[in-house]
Amino acid sequence: MAKKERSAVVTGGASGIGAAIAHRLQTAGVQVHSFDIAGGGETIQVDVTNERACRQAIAAAGPIDILVNSAGVAGQNARSWELPDGEFERVIAVNLVGTYYMCRAVIPGMVERGWGRIVNIASIAGKEGNPNASAYSASKAGVIGLTKSLAKEVAETGVLVNCVTPAVIETPMLGQVSEDHLKYMLSKIPMGRLGQPAEVAALVSWLVSDECTFSTGAVFDISGGRATY
Position 1 scores a pLDDT of: 35
DSSP string, 113-167: HT-EEEEEE--THHHH--TT-HHHHHHHHHHHHHHHHHHHHTTTTTEEEEEEEE-
In a domain, 188, yes or no: yes
The domain tally of the chain equals 1
In a domain, 64, yes or no: yes
Position 209 scores a pLDDT of: 97
Q: What phi, psi does 36 have (nearest 5°)? A: -160, 145
In a domain, 81, yes or no: yes
Q: Which of 100, 101, 136, 229 is catalytic?
A: 136
* pTM exceeding 0.95: no
Determine the distance from the C-alpha atom of residue 61 to the mean position of all C-alpha atoms in its chain, rounded to a whole number.
Answer: 19
* Among the listed residues 42, 33, 40, the one whose alpha carbon sits nearest the alpha carbon of residue 11: 33
Position 229 scores a pLDDT of: 60
For residue 61, what is the domain's CATH number?
3.40.50.720
Q: Print burial letters for 161-198: b (CB count within 10 Å at least 16), e (below 16).
A: bbbbbbbbbebebbeebeeebeebbbebbeeeebbebe
136 as an active site residue: the answer is yes
Determine the distance from the C-alpha atom of residue 20 to the mean position of all C-alpha atoms in its chain, rounded to a whole number.
Answer: 12
In a domain, 217, yes or no: yes
In a domain, 214, yes or no: yes
Position 171 scores a pLDDT of: 83
Write out the chain's pLDDT in tens, 229 residues: 346 799 999 999 999 999 999 999 999 999 999 999 998 888 999 999 999 999 999 999 999 999 999 999 999 999 999 999 999 999 999 999 999 999 999 999 999 999 999 999 999 999 999 999 999 999 999 999 999 999 999 999 999 999 999 998 888 877 777 888 888 888 889 999 989 999 999 999 999 999 999 999 999 999 999 876 6
What are the beta bridge partners of residue 16?
none
Q: H-helix or E-strand containing 67?
A: strand 66-69
Position 85 scores a pLDDT of: 97
CA-based R_g, the chain, Å: 17
Position 69 scores a pLDDT of: 98
